[in-house]
C-alpha cells in the first residue's frame, strides 16, 4: 500500500538520509533512531512520497552550497579543459542554449499575392465599417 502521509519515523529517517554520508550513520543506525527495522527503511525508499520528500530535504540542505558548486564548474572547465563542464557552466548562466533547427516544407503552390492583397483590403473595409458604426 502506497504511503499517503509521512509520520515522525519517516521524518527522522529522511533527516539522516538527506545528509552527506547519511549523517555519519549506517542504515541500521538510522533504522534504530527511527524505531524501525533496516528492511523498513529499504521499503520506504521504494515509496514515491518518501523519495520525493527525501529529495526535497536534500535540495534544502544543499542550497547554501549552490554558488560554490556553480563556481567549481567554471574552475574545473578551465583547469581540466573539460568541455562538458564549460557547456554546463554556460547553460546555467544563460549564455548557451540548445540549438533548434526549423525546417519548412514548400507545398509546391505559388502564393497569389494579388489575391492576398485583395483579402487584406476587404478585411480592412470590414474593420472601417465596424469602427464607423460604433
pLDDT digits (tens, 9 = 90+) for 20-58: 999 999 999 999 999 999 999 999 999 999 999 999 999
pLDDT at 18 (0 to 100): 95
For 132, the grid coordinates are: 464607423
Please identify every stretch of the chain with a pLDDT value under 50, giving residue numbers as ranges. Answer: none
CA triplet 98, 99, 100: central angle to 5 degrees?
115
pLDDT at 108 (0 to 100): 63
Q: Using CB atoms within 10 A of its CB, is residue 129 exposed (0-12), middle (13-18) or buried (19+)? A: exposed
pLDDT at 35 (0 to 100): 97
Task: Tell if the pTM clears 0.85, that is, is over it.
Answer: no
Cα–Cα distance between 10 and 49 in angstroms, integer?
A: 10
Question: Hunting for cell 487584406 — which residue is that?
Answer: 120
Cα–Cα distance between 94 and 87 in angstroms, integer?
A: 11
Amino acid at each position: 500500500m502506497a504511503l499517503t502521509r509521512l509520520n515522525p519515523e519517516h521524518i527522522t529517517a529522511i533527516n539522516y538520509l538527506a545528509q552527506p554520508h547519511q549523517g555519519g550513520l549506517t542504515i541500521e543506525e538510522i533504522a534504530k533512531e527511527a524505531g524501525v527495522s533496516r528492511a523498513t527503511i529499504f521499503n520506504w525508499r521504494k515509496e514515491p512520497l518518501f523519495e520525493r520528500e527525501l529529495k526535497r530535504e536534500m535540495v534544502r540542505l544543499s542550497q547554501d552550497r549552490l554558488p560554490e558548486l556553480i563556481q567549481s564548474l567554471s574552475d574545473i572547465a578551465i583547469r581540466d579543459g573539460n568541455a562538458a563542464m564549460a557547456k554546463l557552466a554556460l547553460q546555467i548562466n544563460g549564455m548557451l542554449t540548445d540549438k533548434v533547427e526549423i525546417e519548412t516544407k514548400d507545398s509546391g503552390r505559388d502564393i497569389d499575392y494579388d489575391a492576398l492583397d485583395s483579402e487584406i483590403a476587404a478585411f480592412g473595409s470590414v474593420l472601417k465599417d465596424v469602427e464607423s458604426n460604433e
